């Protein structure tokens, strides 16, 4: 063996000798001879060029170098065991309760359609679904999986954020409303009033940011007639002919297909939402949580992208 290449077995044997306070006890625990352990530790010291154990006929103790090495050996063994546990959990059958939080519109329009498929695929998993647009603390609120826009602020570095997909937003309105305002073929032809704006009521808007196919940006002035952070409310108002609104296409695909709503300025998008799935660190992840995360990664992008 190359002297620069660590022998992980020797490191493990060394750690066991320390933990069992001697070669004899460690040998009995491991099922190997005392002389074998002694030889391996001696070889380890030879490669390192330093003593890690002080041996006398009465006692065994760590040198300063040995103490430092032992700290790293314990970490190595802990990581190895965690890796084995993680793989075992991955191959175990998903069971138990998984708590998931998703934006209201996604829950109503998309997740409600997908959940029966997941439940058939994993019959031993129970789901608790929260519909919410607010920022939540996964750990404090005991939530396993959260889907939010990428702007969602993670409170803890122990959380993992994995991208899901982009969601295209477009301007839509009813044919009846559009028939009364004339042709709209460019952003500056949009009306200034009669807007149904998606935004928190604490954020007054005076213009709408639009992005063209080549990345150009327009910001026509708008005067909201209705402002809400609820997509269903805005869609119903648009269907009733109350004005133009900005909606994610997944939330109004059926209405656009039937002609109940028409896309205004199809070459321009009113928002480019990006969704991510967030969950506690992968280490120790329950198989049921992993199954749901993988399911969302596979099933959401085709519906939302």
The average pLDDT across 170-194 equals: 94
Q: What pLDDT shows up at residue 283? A: 56
Cα–Cα distance, 44 to 52 (Å, whole number) = 9
State percent of the chain over pLDDT 70.
93
User: Which segment, 37-46, 185-194, 234-243, 267-276, is predicted with the most confidence on average?
Assistant: 234-243
**CA distance readout (Å), 272 to 157, 211, 226, 246:** 26, 9, 21, 11
Cα–Cα distance, 270 to 256 (Å, whole number) = 16
CA atoms 217, 219, 225, 229: torsion sign? positive
Q: Kind of pairing, strands 145-149 and 96-102?
A: parallel
Cα–Cα distance, 290 to 287 (Å, whole number) = 5
| Domain 8-91 belongs in CATH node 1.10.10.10 | yes
Output the furthest CA–CA distance in the chain (Å, rounded).
Answer: 101
Question: What CATH architecture is 96-160+282-304?
Answer: 3-Layer(aba) Sandwich (3.40)
Q: Is the pLDDT of residue 108 over 50?
A: yes
Higher pLDDT, 237 or 96: 237
Q: Is the pLDDT of residue 152 over 50?
A: no
Domain ranges in the chain? 8-91, 96-160+282-304, 168-272
Residue 272 phi/psi, 5-degree rounding, is -120, 90
The average pLDDT across 228-234 equals: 91
Q: Is the Cβ–Cβ distance between 170 and 249 less than 8 Å?
A: yes
| CATH fold of the domain at 168-272 | D-Maltodextrin-Binding Protein; domain 2 (3.40.190)
State percent of the chain over pLDDT 90.
50
Task: Kindly state the tokens that stand for 257.
Answer: 């297909």
| Pick from 102-111, 154-163, 194-203: least confident | 154-163
Q: How does pLDDT run across 237-260, given as a tens digit for each residue? A: 999 999 999 999 888 988 999 999
Q: Is the Cβ–Cβ distance between 248 and 192 less than 8 Å?
A: no
DSSP code of residue 109: I
Domains 8-91 and 96-160+282-304 share a fold: no
Q: What pLDDT shows up at residue 40? A: 93
pLDDT confidence band for 287 (50 / 70 / 90): confident
Q: How does pLDDT run across 115-149, given as a tens digit for each residue? A: 999 999 999 999 999 988 888 888 788 899 999 88
The average pLDDT across 12-36 equals: 91
Give the three-state DSSP class for 211.
strand
Q: Is the pLDDT of residue 169 over 70?
A: yes
The average pLDDT across 220-228 equals: 94
């Amino acid at each position: 063996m190359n002297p620069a290449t660590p022998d992980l077995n020797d490191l493990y044997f060394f750690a066991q000798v320390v933990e069992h306070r001697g070669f004899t006890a460690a040998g009995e625990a491991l099922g190997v001879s005392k002389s074998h352990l002694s030889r391996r530790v001696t070889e380890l010291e030879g490669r390192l060029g330093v003593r890690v154990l002080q041996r006398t006929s009465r006692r065994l103790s760590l040198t300063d170098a040995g103490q430092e090495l032992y700290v790293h050996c314990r970490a190595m063994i802990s990581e190895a065991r965690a890796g084995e546990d993680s793989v075992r959990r991955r191959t175990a059958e998903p069971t138990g309760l998984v708590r998931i939080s998703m934006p209201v519109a996604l829950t109503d329009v998309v997740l409600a359609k997908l959940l029966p498929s997941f439940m058939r695929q994993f019959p031993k998993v129970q789901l608790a679904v929260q519909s919410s647009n607010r920022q939540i603390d996964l750990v404090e609120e005991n939530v396993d999986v959260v889907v939010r826009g990428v702007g969602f602020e993670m409170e803890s570095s122990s959380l993992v954020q994995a991208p899901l997909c982009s969601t295209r937003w477009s301007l839509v309105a009813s044919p009846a409303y559009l028939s009364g305002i004339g042709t709209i073929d460019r952003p500056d032809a949009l009306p200034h009033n009669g807007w149904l704006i998606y935004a928190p009521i604490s954020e007054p808007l005076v213009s709408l940011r639009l992005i063209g196919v080549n990345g150009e940006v327009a910001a026509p002035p708008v005067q909201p007639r209705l402002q809400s952070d609820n997509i269903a409310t805005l869609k119903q108002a648009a269907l009733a002919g109350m004005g133009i609104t900005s909606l994610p296409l997944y939330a109004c695909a059926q209405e656009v297909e039937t002609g109940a709503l028409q896309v205004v300025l199809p070459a321009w998008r009113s928002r480019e939402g990006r969704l991510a799935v967030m969950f506690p660190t992968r280490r120790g992840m329950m198989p049921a949580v992993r199954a749901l995360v993988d399911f969302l990664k596979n099933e959401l992008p085709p519906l939302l992208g």
